Structure 1
Amino acid sequence: MNLENSLIDQLELALANPELSKRAELLRHVADLFVFGSSKFTDAQIDLFDEVMSTLLKHIECTARAAFGSRLSRLPDAPRRTIRMLAFDDAPEVAAPVLEHSPRLDEASLAENARTKSQDHLLAIAGRIRLTEPVTDVLVERGNNAVAVRTASNGGASFSAQGMSGLIRRARDNGALAMCIWARPDIPRETLLKLFVHASEMVRRKLESADPRQAALVRSAIAEGSDELQSMARAGSSEHARALAEVRSLHTDGQLDEARVLGFVGARSFDKTAVALSLMTDLPIGAIERALVRSEPEQILILAKAIGLSWDTTKALLTFQPGLAQEPKERSKERLEECFASFLRLKPSTAKAALQFFRLRERAGRDPVH
């Protein structure tokens, strides 16, 4: 009761005083009381602090609000209404510490803030220890590049299918964002490879357009970067390690055949499919991975024909490519018919000659199966 009477009396005195400095001084005093006794107050006492703090916040300058918010930002029992006022303050320097650290902000409040406030507010939210899917959905959709990069690099962030799709789409013309996505362990490698292949092609086109004389060097740099990143992704993938051991064993025992490949595709095992084709074609794993995820089907048709795969298996392999999955059903059907016609026209001898060319081109040995 003494605490309540003291706070109320001081509040009345402060609000009666027109000087903002007096009110800011009282707010600092109230903050001292709360921080010192944090975790010891009853719900009723926290509600009283909430009333006093939220009232004073309306009457003090930005610098004082920012200092006050920073002090309360990490307290697990900070008054909820006061925390919300700070989080929704138009001044980023006031809102940012609370948005980034306060455990008193729920998912709905964070999503609402991300939908309505400035990019600086979104950037602060993106740095929270944990981010749920409804919040990252808004950050990816509405945030600028800095927000997207910070969200993608946040190991405590979860993404819905919609959010991840938006992140991948944005990364195709944003190298920094693409690298953040590559570093995440929760992104399927098949998705990562599609991202990097498209990003690489985009970067290559821009660089070649800027300086056509350097086109060959540009292509070489992009290829080396792709190989290096693919190798890093495989090295950190337990799924790839298991697939490599299983498929190599089948190959050693003479049991790696078309039926196995079709089974791998049917199970949607990108790693097993890629390793199998690498062993059967004697091509580096990186070259196979890129062929599987590119939108152009020609290389898959050539490789399949060269090692004697049927059209049914070849058609199944094409389903890994993004074009067929993303196009309207009618257009996808037309594309498959065009691929089928090309596959029938392609002579095995021509395909084997092309495969030999691919081997020579990749023979530098920079991307072995590993």
Structure 2
Amino acid sequence: MPRTLNKDKLLKMIKDPSPQVRMKIASLLFRAMEKNILTPRDHNGAAAMFAIAVDDPDMDVRRNLARLMCRSRHALPEIVATLACDEIEVAGPVLKHSPVLQEEDLVYLSRNGGRAVRMLIAGRDGLAGPICEALAESGEADVCRLLARNHSAALHPRDMARLLGRFRNNSRLSSEIMARPDVPATLKREVMREVSSSLHDFLLQKKWVSPQRAKSVVLGAMENGTLDISLTASEADLEHLAHRLAREGALTPTLIMRSACAGYLRFVETALSVMAHLPRKRVQSMLRGRGPFGIRAIFTKAGLPKQAFPLFHIAMETCQELIRESGGAGEDAGFHCRVIERVLTKYRDIAASDADQLLKMLEHFAADARRIERRQEDQRSIAA
């Protein structure tokens, strides 16, 4: 602090009739605090000056103080807390950026402030779970949408589910939530199931297809969607998904065969580990080992139908062949289509007849895979 400035002179300047003078002295004091060049006594004096400035009748003075302190870790907590409760024109920078505001402060402001306050808080970086919960409880669509779009916010899956339920008719908000990288696979599948149920009811209402065909279309879409979800799931998330499917009775032989014949290896290994009650690493070594014995052992332990084993064995061998041919690239965009086409070619050679039920199922899987591949190519072309 310049030696020419004493406490009495500072007090006189902070109460000067000119707002510009009051803003200038506040700026000088704050820069001195930031540079840590004040003695403890001077620091206390500066704090007293800020206590006067934060109640200044001129909004420009308070707004200037908020802008000075909004990003500083050295700002005085009591001054920042007062600024955060000021009019939104003053509080805005502090609410959006201040690292001094604590979690409990932000929870309180989220629950007791106005919509504009919540909008500013929802855009903050690194929001903790309790703050996200308080914002989600507001039920304000624009606040919740901004929160969903904030990928640095620790939005709990429970709160995601609540928002999806509350705003089920708000497609923009639902899309923002589903675009988050931390949406669990189980929640994605739950949303997909609701959409599939609506599709089923729509098809029956319009009488465009028979009830049996409507059920088949929806089941196929659900299975393909589940496998698509599994591609981006973490190991833990994929395991949770497999356990959920098992509890719902949805971890069916048809789904296992579809995933095997299309080369969704991570899903196959995780699903079989759940069905056989074995560690995933153990299942992986059995499926990827040389010869059919390990594959047959895990297939049998998982309780899958014996007549499907030849097809399952071909699928597992084909996956390993293609992985070796691609230099270990694994499940890229075209991998699944290549696997199922080669499996189909191999299985035709051993099928009892064209009426073989497994062959029909495999041809249906292949048709689905081709449609998905064409759709992905179209999407890539549009994006380019």
TM-score, normalised relative to structure 1 = 0.57
2:76 to 53, 75, 79: 79
Tell me if 1:260 matches 2:302: yes
Residue 34 of structure 2 corresponds to residue 38 of structure 1: yes
Residues 29, 46 of structure 2: 8 Å contact kept: no
1:126-175 deviation line (CA, Å, top 9, x unaligned): 12221112211101111522221222232332234653442342353332
Give the distance between the partners of 2:4 and 2:220, measured in 1 at CA. 69
SS at match of 2:6: helix
Equivalent pair of 2:30/2:68 in contact (CA under 8 Å):
no
The 2-side partners of 1:143 and 1:63 are apart by: 33
Code of the aligned partner of 2:34: S
Using the alignment, how far apart are the partners of 2:168 and 2:146 within structure 1? 16
String of CA shifts for 1:297-353, please: whole Å, max 9, x gaps.
xxxxxxxxxxxxxxxxxxxxxxxxxxxxxxxxxxxxxxxxxxxxxxxxxxxxxxx99
Shift of 1:109: 0.7
Partner of 1:319: none
AA of the residue aligned to 1:122:
R
Question: How many Å apart are 1:358 and its aligned residue?
Answer: 11
Match of 2:179 in 1: 183
Number of the residue aligned with 1:25:
21
160-169 or 95-104: bigger deviation: 160-169
Give the conservation status (yes or no) of the 8 Å contact 2:189–2:229. no
Larger deviation, residues 237-246 vs 176-185: 237-246
Matching of residues 293-304 of structure 1 within 5 Å: none
**Contact 2:70/2:98 (8 A) holds in 1:** yes
Q: Distance in 2 between matches of 1:166 and 1:248?
A: 36
Structure 1: give runs of 5+ residues left out of the alignment.
216-221, 263-278, 283-351
Q: Structure 1's 7 and 227: CA in aligned 2 closer, same or farther, altered over 3 A? A: farther
Aligned to 1:118: 114
CA contact under 8 A between 1:140 and 1:148: conserved in structure 2?
A: yes
RMSD: 4.8
Q: Is the 8 A contact 2:16 2:22 kept in 1?
A: no
Cα offsets for 1:266-304 (capped at 9, x unmatched): xxxxxxxxxxxxx79x9xxxxxxxxxxxxxxxxxxxxxx
Aligned residues: 273
Q: Give the counterpart letter for 2:109 in structure 1.
A: N
Listed one character per residue, the Cα deviations across residues 165-202 of structure 1 (whole Å, up to 9, x for unaligned) are 42342353332333333233333201122124335766
1:166–1:43 CA distance, 2 compared to 1 (3 A): farther
Distance in 2 of aligned mates of 1:103 and 1:88 = 16
The aligned residue for residue 364 of structure 1 is 368
Q: Could you say which residue in structure 2 is the equivalent of 1:140? A: 136
Match of 1:10 in 2: 10
Aligned ranges for residues 1-370 of structure 1 at < 5 Å?
Answer: 6=6, 8-15=8-15, 17=17, 22-35=18-31, 37-40=33-36, 41=38, 45-91=42-88, 93-142=89-138, 144-160=140-156, 162-198=158-194, 233-239=229-235, 240=238, 242-244=266-268, 253-257=295-299, 259-260=301-302, 360=364, 363-365=367-369, 366-367=371-372
Cα–Cα, structure 1 residues 232 and 360, in superposed 2: closer, same or farther, change >3 Å?
A: closer
**TM-score (norm: length of structure 2):** 0.55
For the residues of structure 1 that align with 2:4 and 2:109, how far apart are their CA atoms? 32
**Residue 231 of structure 1 contacts residue 367 of structure 1 at CA under 8 Å; is this kept in 2?**
no
Q: Note if contact 1:133-1:160 (Cα within 8 Å) is conserved in structure 2.
A: yes
Distance in 1 (CA, whole Å) between partners of 2:26 and 2:208 is 66
Higher normalized contact order (CA 8 Å, seq sep 6+, divided by chain length): 1
1:225-282, CA deviations, whole angstroms, 9 ceiling, x for partnerless residues?
A: 99998676444334256444567886772345475279xxxxxxxxxxxxxxxx79x9
State the SS of the aligned residue for 1:147.
Answer: helix
CA apart distance, 1:83? 0.9
Distance 1:198 1:72 in 2: 48
Residue identity over aligned pairs, in percent, reads: 22
| Deviations, residues 1-48 of structure 1 (Å, cap 9, x unaligned) | 86796354333354363xxxx135313332233135404146654443
Shift of the 7–234 alpha-carbon distance from structure 1 to 2, 3 Å rule, reads: farther
Separation in 1, partners of 2:207, 2:24: 65
Match of residue 309 from structure 1 = none
| Secondary structure at the counterpart of residue 47 of structure 2 | helix
> One-letter code of the match for 1:81?
E
Instruction: Give the SS at the match of 1:364.
Output: helix
